């Protein structure tokens, strides 16, 4: 079973071509990292899979079924999306916001409570559980929203039935919490969840992703394993920067160094 498949997908909302001829394949438990300059199409691709942007042509399959054929509630149990910006102006407590991720499920209060506790611990927001969301810092809000989407797919991940979309999940986070988020992503992938994430930090995404897709002007410029994709030539051609790409001294991943 494939978690996500795009075949020659094009998206052209409002008559503007945002994505062209996108072909991607992601299996359960795999992590796909999206890289590219600002405006390259990373957020548009995530919004397309999430359903915020319509497919103009081509095929978009989620768990081997056309995305448009999924009943909304069934898909909400399998697919969760964290956009770059999550607006919430109601004075819910942190625990209440995280619990919103369990709304598509009917697993019972006790099971939902356990999952909420687990994801709050994984994102280091347990100590904030009674705090009003509107009084949190930007980094704290980001971790709470991440906990919410983790709660949405925490149990369905176990048999490879979940897909998580993350757009800049480490925004506003300090280095320690960036590493915490990375560990939470690895944990969920280890449970069988397929994950697509966009992160501007090349070294962070190289350490997380099994596959990296580089977008440029709405098209795929490269796609493959991090060590295959992240080359000095690609950075010159796509990002217009001069870098060194070496092997990380401690981890089996490429290390991108600015000249």
Q: What is the pLDDT of residues 88-107, one digit of tens each?
A: 888 899 999 999 999 998 77
Residue 235 DSSP label: I
Low-confidence ranges of the chain (pLDDT < 50): none
Residues 152, 76: Cα–Cα separation, whole Å: 8
User: Which tokens belong to 175?
Assistant: 């280095």
Q: What is the model's pLDDT at position 158?
A: 81
Q: What is the model's pLDDT at position 192?
A: 94
Pick the CATH number of 4-258 from 2.115.10.20, 3.90.25.10, 3.40.50.300, 3.30.110.30: 3.40.50.300
Q: What is the model's pLDDT at position 14?
A: 78
Q: What is the model's pLDDT at position 249?
A: 84
User: Which tokens belong to 139?
Assistant: 């980094």
Give the model confidence (pLDDT) of 22-45 as tens digits: 999 999 999 999 999 999 999 999
CB of 46 closer than 8 Å to CB of 35 = no
**Average per-residue pLDDT for the chain:** 93
Q: What is the model's pLDDT at position 230?
A: 96
């Amino acid at each position: 079973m494939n978690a996500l498949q795009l075949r020659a997908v094009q998206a052209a909302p409002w008559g503007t071509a945002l994505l062209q001829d996108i072909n991607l394949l992601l299996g359960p438990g795999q992590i796909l990292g999206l890289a590219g300059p600002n405006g390259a199409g990373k957020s548009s691709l995530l919004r397309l899979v999430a359903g915020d942007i319509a497919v103009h042509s081509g095929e978009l399959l989620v768990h081997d079924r056309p995305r448009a054929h999924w009943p909304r509630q069934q898909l909400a149990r399998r697919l969760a999306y964290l956009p770059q910006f999550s607006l919430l102006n109601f004075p819910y407590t942190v625990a209440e916001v995280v619990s919103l991720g369990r709304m598509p499920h009917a697993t019972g209060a006790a099971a939902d409570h356990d999952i909420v506790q687990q994801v709050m611990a994984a994102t280091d927001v347990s100590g904030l559980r009674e705090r009003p969301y509107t009084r949190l810092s930007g980094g704290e809000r980001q971790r709470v929203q991440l906990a919410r989407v983790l709660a949405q797919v925490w149990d369905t991940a176990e048999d490879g039935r979940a897909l998580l979309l993350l757009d800049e999940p480490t925004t506003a986070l300090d280095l320690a919490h960036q590493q915490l988020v990375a560990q939470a992503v690895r944990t969920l992938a280890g449970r069988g969840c397929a994950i697509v994430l966009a992160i501007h930090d090349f070294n962070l995404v190289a350490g997380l992703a099994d596959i990296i897709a580089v977008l440029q002007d709405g098209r795929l410029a490269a796609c493959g394993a991090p060590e295959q994709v992240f080359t000095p030539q690609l950075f010159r051609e796509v990002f217009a920067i001069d870098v060194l790409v070496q092997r990380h001294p401690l981890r089996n991943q490429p290390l991108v160094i600015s000249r």
